[in-house]
């Protein structure tokens, strides 16, 4: 392959991350095309240009931002996707909904049956709406500098810590689901989040089978270590996206140590 060649990534988020990262460093950068084959990669990982690989037990610690030349979404890949892998993607869909798209959030709740049966019209609407939401954010903050792109990490600070603490036995979608509930509880505690948001999230995510029992208190050291290495930290603080109410979000600064304490206090056991 020379510099006029194209890398083609066909697979889930991990495959697309590796292909995108490889394309970005091969010959100092060649084009690549993403063909996502999982629900999670269709609504999230395939778009936005963030590529990365895990190292030293840290999620996506090595990576670059390089936009794909194209993203090709073919829903037929979902026909053979096992149900646990399929529903994993709905945690990211609900992330878009609870943070910035109230209509999407309630659509996913109200149309659970057609979505779980992979009904094409419902799926097309949800995937398109999710990608539009992400594209609008990436367009504002492609290089993750202004703070707008932080909303895409809602639930991920705690979610990535849970993934690491579980030795990645808990899937990304389920870890992010737990992370969103935990961060919503912390938002309530800090006075930013409406008190009904954690329960709304719990009910919505439970409806898709995304809530996994995980006792954070059994993994305090691993959780603290993972959060202290989070990419969003700066000078002992985290830039944390918080939900004010369904469809409205903002960015706050929280001390890393304070955040770890709040995680253990507010989210010791989920559910």
Q: Tens digit of pLDDT for each residue in 80-107? A: 999 999 999 999 999 999 999 999 999 9
| Structural contact between residues 107 and 69, judged by C-beta atoms closer than 8 angstroms | no
In this prediction, residue 57 carries a pLDDT of 73
In this prediction, residue 81 carries a pLDDT of 97
- Give the CATH H-level superfamily of domain 82-270: Dehydroquinate synthase-like - alpha domain (1.20.1090.10)
In this prediction, residue 221 carries a pLDDT of 84
In this prediction, residue 216 carries a pLDDT of 73
Token readout for 91 is 């945690």
H/E element holding 221? helix 220-228
3 state SS of 270:
strand
In this prediction, residue 115 carries a pLDDT of 99
In this prediction, residue 235 carries a pLDDT of 83
- For residue 222, is pLDDT > 90? no
- pTM, rounded to two decimals: 0.93
Question: What burial letters (b/e) apply to 207-242, b meaning 16+ CB within 10 Å?
Answer: bbebbbebebeebeebbbbbbebbbbbeeebbbbbb
In this prediction, residue 104 carries a pLDDT of 99
Domain range list for the chain: 6-75, 82-270
Percent of the chain scoring above 90 in pLDDT: 76
Longest dimension (CA), the chain: 55
- For residue 78, is pLDDT > 90? yes
In this prediction, residue 229 carries a pLDDT of 81
Q: Do 6-75 and 82-270 agree at the fold level?
A: no
Q: Collect contacts of 133-136 with beta carbons under 8 A, ≥24 apart.
A: 133/96, 133/100, 133/101, 133/104, 134/43, 134/44, 134/47, 134/48, 134/96, 135/47
pLDDT in tens, 180-210: 999 999 999 999 999 999 999 999 999 999 9
Mean pLDDT of the region 36-51: 96
- CA-based nearest residue to 219, from 211, 227, 230: 227
**Architecture per CATH, 6-75:** 3-Layer(aba) Sandwich (3.40)
Distant-in-sequence, close-in-space partners of 130: CB < 8 Å, separation ≥ 6: 43, 44, 92, 93, 96, 104
- For residue 214, is pLDDT > 90? no
Mean pLDDT of the region 49-56: 87
- For residue 6, is pLDDT > 80? yes
- For residue 267, is pLDDT > 90? no
CA distances from 100 to 12, 130, 200 (A): 25, 10, 15
pLDDT in tens, 117-162: 999 999 999 999 999 999 999 999 999 888 899 999 999 999 999 9
Hunting for tokens 């646990």 — which residue is that? 84
Sign of CA dihedral 82, 84, 85, 87: positive
3 state SS of 233:
strand
Mean pLDDT of the region 168-173: 92
Determine if the peptide bond prior to 271 is cis (ω within 30°). Answer: yes
In this prediction, residue 58 carries a pLDDT of 77
Q: What confidence category does residue 233 fall into, taking pLDDT thresholds of 50, 70 and 90?
A: confident
Beta strands in 21-75 (DSSP E): 31-36, 50-55, 58-65, 70-71
In this prediction, residue 215 carries a pLDDT of 76
Percent of the chain scoring above 70 in pLDDT: 100
What is the crossing angle of helices 102-110 and 120-140, to 10°? 160
Hunting for tokens 């603080």 — which residue is that? 237
3 state SS of 241:
strand
């Amino acid at each position: 392959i020379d510099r006029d060649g194209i890398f083609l990534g066909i697979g889930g988020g991990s495959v697309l991350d590796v292909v995108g990262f490889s394309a970005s460093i091969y010959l100092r950068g060649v084009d690549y095309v993403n063909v996502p084959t999982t629900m999670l990669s269709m609504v999230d990982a395939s778009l936005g240009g963030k590529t990365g690989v895990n190292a030293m037990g840290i999620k996506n610690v090595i990576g670059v931002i390089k936009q794909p030349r194209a993203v090709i979404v073919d829903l037929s890949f979902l026909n053979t996707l096992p149900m646990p892998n399929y529903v994993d993607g709905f945690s990211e869909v609900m992330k878009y909904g609870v943070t910035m798209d109230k209509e999407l959030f309630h659509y996913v709740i109200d149309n659970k049956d057609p979505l779980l049966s992979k009904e094409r019209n419902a799926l097309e609407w949800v995937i398109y709406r999710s990608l539009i939401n992400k594209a609008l954010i990436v367009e504002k903050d492609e290089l993750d500098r202004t703070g707008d792109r932080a909303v895409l990490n809602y639930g991920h600070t705690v979610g990535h810590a849970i993934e690491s603490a579980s030795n990645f036995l808990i899937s990304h979608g389920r870890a992010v689901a737990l992370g969103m509930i935990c961060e919503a509880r912390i938002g309530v505690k800090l006075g930013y989040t409406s008190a009904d948001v954690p329960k709304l999230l719990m009910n919505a995510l439970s409806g898709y089978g995304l809530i996994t029992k995980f006792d954070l208190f059994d993994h305090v050291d691993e959780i603290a270590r993972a959060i202290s290495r989070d990419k969003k930290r700066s000078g002992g603080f985290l830039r944390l996206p918080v939900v004010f109410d369904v469809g409205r979000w903002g960015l706050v600064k929280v001390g890393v140590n304070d955040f770890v304490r709040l995680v253990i206090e507010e989210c010791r056991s989920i559910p």
